[in-house]
Amino acid sequence: MFARRLFTVTAGAVSAVVLTATTASAHFCYFDNPNPKANAGRANSSGFVSFGAIAAMEGFCPAGAEVLADAVGVSTSTMINAHGLMAGPTGGNKAISHLDFGALEAAIPDAIAACEV
């Protein structure tokens, strides 16, 4: 029981710090309906990271990452621009969205629970 509580408190604290620190420098943008070839290029760039990889870096297991991804309406393979801002939709560009940090934060307890199973 103590280990579970310690994990929950630690994961929550780390997530809160990361979410508040990183939102100041980037909005975590992503393309709503990406072109598969362009997305493959993003996967090989240093500017984009998959949502699942970001969740794993924060200590969430794959099941927990799925819970978080579902909460914000993306998949774990969605490529997130974690290093800068992208302009809004212009000309022929696909729609650009930003992660909903309120929904993400609200899903953290369920994601932690999914990792404890």
pLDDT digits (tens, 9 = 90+) for 34-61: 888 888 888 888 788 999 999 999 999 9
* Mean per-residue pLDDT over the chain, rounded: 78
Of residues 82 and 20, more confidence is placed in: 82
Question: Burial level of 8, CB count in 10 A (0-12/13-18/19+)?
Answer: middle
Residue 62 has pLDDT above 80, yes or no: yes
Choice between 6 and 98, residue whose per-residue pLDDT is larger: 98
pTM, full prediction: 0.69
Predicted pLDDT at 24: 41
pLDDT recorded at residue 45: 82
Q: Where are the chain's structural domains?
A: 2-85+92-116
